[in-house]
Structure 1
Amino acid sequence: MKNLHPTFIFVAFLFCFSIVRPAIVAHDVDSTQKLPLQKQLRELRQLNKQHEYDRVIEVASTLINQASKKGENGFLFHGYNYLSLTYDQLSDTIPALDYAEKALHYAKLSKNDTLISWGLNNLAASLSYFPDRRSDALKLYKESLVIQRRLNSDQFNDAALNIAEIYRDEENYTMMYPYLKEAQKSYKSDTLRYDDPKAYLDILWGDYYRGLDFNNKALSYYQSAYDIIERFEMSYLALNFYNKYAQFLAENNRPEAAYEVHQKYFDYYQNKELTKTKETVQLAQARLEAEELRRERNDAELKQEILDQDLKRKKTQSVLLGSIIGLMVLFLAYLFYSEKLRLGLIRNLKVNNKHLKQAKESAERSERAKTKFFSNLSHEMRTPLYGVTGIVALLEKSEAFKEYKEEIGSLKFSADHLLEIINDLLDLSKLEDESFKFIEKPFNLKLLAEELANSFDQNSLKNSDCKIICDVDSSIPNYVVGDSRRISQILLNILGNAVKFTPKGVIALRLRSNHLANGKHAIYFEVEDNGIGIPAAMHKSIFDEFSQIDHVNTVNKGTGLGLPIVRKLLLKMGSDIHLVSAPGKGSTFSFTITFKEATLLEVIGKRKKGEAEEEEVLTDLTNQRILIVDDNKINRMVTRRVLEKQNAQVFEAQNGEEALERVRKHHFDLILMDINMPGMNGYETTKEIRVFDKTIPIIALTAAEANYIKQKAKESGMNDVITKPYNLSQFSKVIAKELKKDSLLGAGL
């Protein structure tokens, strides 16, 4: 991929200083003496724009001779500068460099800072053609930049842009940024009198962000440069940039845009080649005439020798012309081959695009099917599970079933285990959603670790003769800010995995801290067991979904979701899990998470908020009329029993139509609304109720769990959502909160 060369910036700025007012370069000759020189300078500018190189060399030579006689250093600078530019465009770098050095010499003699800055900048551009002189070029650019900063004019700061380009070529993006920023700051489109350098700026910004792998920002700047190039038809820049841009678009899965840019590149390339054959003869002639004029300028006595060389020159020109014709034939053959190859590539690109589109559509269908599957799974499994857990909770508190306490406990454990499996499946689905977010709140990390270690009761350890110990280093801060629920989930999954594969032994949970700057701590977590261990071949696969250790005989291998969920959570936290294990030698799982230590105000604020929430819970629902709307008879029975335990007056409706009729005829303090019902669903029923009753609290009581459920419930007019099977304490809190809110509204507060 070709990079932009500083010559392009060099050419653009020559256009600028070629029209500078002669007043800035003359010091000791009156204006009447300078008129011929001004006229020649204007003619030089016009000839250069028309690419009449032989005439440019002739007029520049005349300007140098006349300016030398009058001691006009400023015009001498312009003459040599145009000679340098012309030889540069003739790809003759040695004389181009020689004339650039002479131009700088006369710029310094003129004592004009603007000309000195340009001379330094243009000599650096010539030096940059030679790889071993790039350090010299960088030094000259920086000298030019010092002068430009001192002048502080409205001119564009081209030296800063050229320095940024050199650092870009060296992939030194740290040094590139400040100079690119400085060039950007000096850009004022309304003061420019040459090609708009915004295109150069945008290309370099794109290269900068591409080098740092910020591809979205790079794409934005590349697109801006592309628009400018197309608007001003900057063909010389298109030929150097479009090929790189097309490749970048293809690498970033934008094949159609890549094809469009690549097509533009071929168009410019073909136009260039069509004009190349016409210009080649002129360029060759200009080069030979330049040598003739240089000899004439150095020694007037050599005129006769030049005439003698004229015949030889013409013969050489004839040979060159024949060579050019031969090369043109070869080029046409190459062009034909390239066009054929290009058409083949385009056909392949179209086929690949079609396949990519089909693959994309297939992946989207698969993702939609997966989302729908998890949503249906959630509802279909939670609905009967709600009946089981609800009835178990009622039986557990009933005096009549005290003698069956152990059996009820086992039933509750089984139901909780089934709910845990469902939650694992749903968590796996949520973690693949970009909208997944962590809840950052202060929590006591030491207490959390100790409670987790103690939370494995007899049901968890009955098949394992092992012991869990917790070792928390004193360096761990008491309170940190983070998502305590997700930290608990990570540690519980790792500890649960250790319990399954440690039939007898010790499981250790260890926490260590490394204090960082700005009140942050890198907390190192480690769970070590002396169980059966994991073969090296399975160290990676156990973090795959539904993966299990097949050769191990354990009572409960689990679903194979715990460790994949752990890794996905850690990756979203900017961490990862590490495993050290071998068969018969136990396993050690470890990871590091950076936490911010909670301030005293944050901890106090959390406690006060928690206390306020406790005060809002109404344990007594006496005289509260609550309507349950659910098509499932068992669910209605369970919810009725829970509410009657709190002394509420409970009424039922088995569908949306019946609920509407009851609400129109009777007063209710709160409605518990199922969402998935035959006929009118919960959303539709709520919308109908809101037509004539805007205030009654309506809480969705649903087995489905997804982010869009809460959003859709809110849009339909519901106040809150409770997911089945629910925690009884949380269930009461939500109802109490909505009833209290409604009573405050009724009181006009």
Structure 2
Amino acid sequence: MSQFKYYIFVFLVFFCSLAFSQQNGEEDPDRLSLDLQNLIAQAKLDSSRGNYFEAKDNLEKALEIAIKIDDKSSQGKIHTKIAKVQYIVDEPENANISLNSALQIQREISDYPNQAITYNIKGLLYSYKEDYTTALDYYKSSIGLFEQEDLEEYISEVCLNRAKALIALERYEEAKDQLERAIIIAKQYDQARTLSSALIQSGRVFSELNNNDLALNQAEEGLVLAQSEDLTSNVNQGYLVLSRIHEKNGNYQSSVDYLKKHMDLSDSMLNIKRDNLSAESNGKYISAYKSAENRQLQEQIDEVSADSNFTRITTILSIALITILSLLTLSLYKNNNIRLKTNNMLHKKNDELIVAKEKAELASKTKANFLSTVTHELRTPLYAVTGLTNMLLDEDPKEHQIPHLKSLKFSGDYLLTFINDILQINKIEANKVELDPEQFNLKNKIDNVISALSNSANDNGTTLHYNYEDDLPESFYGDQLKISQILINLLGNAIKFTKDGDIWVRVNKIHQKDKQYKLRFEIEDNGIGITKEKQDHMFESFSQGSVQINRKYGGTGLGLSIVKGLIQILKGKIYLKSELGQGTTFFFEIPLEYAEEDKKQKTVVTKKSSKMENLDLSNFKILVVEDNKINQMITKKILNKMNLYCDIVDNGEDAVERVKTTEYGVVLMDIHMPGISGLEATRIIRTFDKELTIFALTAVTLEDKMHEFDEAGFDDIISKPFKQEDFEKKLFAAITAQNKVTA
């Protein structure tokens, strides 16, 4: 009753202020702002009562006022609210237009919280269209913005929507993770509606994963909560899910009972909504009810309750089936009774194994997600570092600056490779990383590593000693990049834990047969050393000598794990010798094939000549689609240095519109952006332009998802940060292939 009085008061204030303003002929901003809030409140009340068209009318009036007083924030919110109503009354195209209007305003004023809400509604809209892949992109963007703004309480609903899309795609393990997060947040913030729905959907997921007991428990808990909170829609959802679970478990009578409850409640809800809609929209709503997800449901209802004869036949068959099963159970009772205790014990053990397995899988996923997030964030600044370094080296730097720039370039190249290996640490542990053998000079390679780390050693007051065995060949055939990574990790560790001391790097031959050599590498230091009890765990991921060592010296504890994995891939072995306070020696042995030195490799190119200089690029345009401002600047500078003109947009929607109106030779498309992803934007472009060259420009290593790039329609992939030579080579090939430029 108190809520009713509140709305009466709001309406009186609204009408009094309206009458006063009309009488005085004024356009008072404060009065208009009050009118705006009253109209929004009235629209909310209309929606809660099912009066959607009245709600839409009030929101449109509110929008007119927001435009009149230039309230951008309210304009964006109202467009989103209008879209939500349009979505409910089955006007998806109009809803999409309203959402795009909302996003345009919210991006303009950096209204990230409401932009996140709009992305969530966008996701619902694409789920309604059964375009679940695009919906997932929007849900991911929504969660990202909510996390950015520290608005955790809003994330539960998006996780729930995301889980529903994953269920539709039959990606049940991923859906389970999203539902677990939704349940945790909903409980924390007392969100009964989201919690009950998440529990019910969790029951559905566990049923699909054949965990029938947990499926039943979750769904029943969600239904009880929905009933206690009078959440009719969730109750109806719970009836349907429980019907399916009981059917899968063979409890056909319970399945029929729940399905009947679902049918009755669905009819009741349909009648209520039909009454709330205007006469001219009744037919349209009923049509919508029978479409999309509800069409399949209606067919199921029709099959089960086609007529009373079918119902009677079903009942008779159910009774007969139950009777047969009862007789069979009695006949097998004695035999089963003997096995009962054994089976119970096995079942208990099996449950424990399942729980342990699920915990291990969760831990593995958490670790993989952490590594993926961290490495992606590192790549963004690294793109700027390597890009600017290459440009500075090409701009005739002063002679004393060249060594510093080269050292920076070497470190950047190594860091990029290191990041890639961290991202793929699970692959390394699974021995799935491929070798990339080539001819190289081993002695020079070790020289470069020592030179790159010499500054760090000098800072610690540590002297580096290098001994390369006499008569040992220098030129070998092998994966030089992985050998560099191993040496940098081990030598870097030695420097970190050795202050005012010495470090020795030694390379010796163990044995030789024809061109096959087995070499031993030693990295010895006289630093702090490692205790005996810690030595057995040093090669495990995230392992450090102790908490105190971690705090004092830093590091992630991943280095030695990666080293061990790489050495195993190289068909070698590693071991260590250490005493606390006396220092540490790491030994690793790997096979390498001798290769006769290629004199051509010693040829030094003093001045690089770009092939682009021979092309007429005056009419050739490139579109860069990138949301990061630093990356935009770096990419533009690199392209301008090649005499290439480019336009820049910061989201997928604008990219699609630009391609429709402007002729571009190449599109450089970032993958992860707010709104639709680069993958989805490319799919849309391919619906009307099959010939345009589109490169995926991404800061994430996605070897496992290469098929997605092919399916989306990309011509090639350029991984950020990229080597300028490789970037230029790919652009040159694309440009000359189009016959749009002349040499």
Instruction: Return the TM-score normalized by structure 1.
Output: 0.47
Instruction: Return the TM-score normalized by structure 2.
Output: 0.47
